[in-house]
Amino acid sequence: MDLKKLMAALQASASNAPLLSTSTYVPPTSDAPDEDRDAARRMIAAFVHWLARGGHTSDAGSPARKAILDSILARPDQPEKVIEELGDNVYSTDVAQDQRDFATGYLAPFGEGNLGDDYFKLFVEATGGRTMRDARPTPAEYNRFSDMIDARERGFAQGAPDWKKPLAVPNAPRPTSGQAVRSKWLARLPATPIS
């Protein structure tokens, strides 16, 4: 096979991959996939809210998608519905060109100082919740979260080495026992041992 054709195919495939997808946050063995999907939609809505509020939605993409993205501000009580209308995905073409590098770095699915980590710390840990299902941000909380993303974006734009510094949530309630959470987590792991 021609190496140039293979590289072009891989790049085309990667450019069509979503930056954010609910499927990343819904475990295949979920005991309540609809609840987990709605929880993931609420988290993704926090980023879409930031995009729309800051005028960071792309004019170069689909006008229909842009209208849905921007509608999140007019439908503050329907974050799950907005993300569902987007096909449960946010693509790089949904993000204004000047914000794509930041979005790619901030939306990495694992690690500290990214969307999932910030959202979990502020809307689950800080409130004493146990899972993403417990997080139900209000419109005012989405606004405050957008302010926090703005601060991260400014740090990224200025080249600050600590722009992804993990959030510290002072006085966040700590579970008295992790055994129930640990047992539930272990039950979700595949039954086949990894060799």
What's the pLDDT score for residue 69?
96
What's the pLDDT score for residue 2?
62
Residues 6+ apart with CB under 8 A from 180: none
Q: What is the mean pLDDT of the chain?
A: 85
**Ranges under pLDDT 50 in the chain:** 6, 8-14, 175-177, 179, 182, 185-186, 189-195
Q: Which residues pair with 90 in a beta bridge?
A: 20
Kindly report the pTM of this predicted structure.
0.80
